Amino acid sequence: MRFVTGLILGIVLTIGGGTLMAQNERAMHPRLAKAIAALRDARDYLEHAPHDFGGHKADATRATDDAIRQLNLALEYRGREDRRH
């Protein structure tokens, strides 16, 4: 029982630590964090729009998802590099 409790606690702390590091990177790079938030808002708008923006909705949604992913990867990279030095 102790082992399972310790294992669960370790997992929670590991996940929480990753979240704190991600939050720290967003705090250190507020423009990127704002860009991610704006892109998520735009994606939500696109997703719920009653029209397809002249056939560009699907491509715009994919491009927005890719941009969000790339910005998150940039923040992750910066976080890894900052911890190395």
Reported confidence tier of residue 2, pLDDT bands at 50, 70, 90? low
Average pLDDT on 58-69 reads: 97
The 3-class secondary structure across 20-43, one letter per residue, is HHHHHHHHHCHHHHHHHHHHHHHH
pLDDT of residue 74: 93
- Burial grade of 76 (CB within 10 A; 0-12, 13-18, 19 or more): middle
Reported confidence tier of residue 66, pLDDT bands at 50, 70, 90? very high
Domain ranges (residues) in the chain: 2-84
21 neighbors 14 (Cβ within 8 angstroms): no
pLDDT at 6 over 70: no
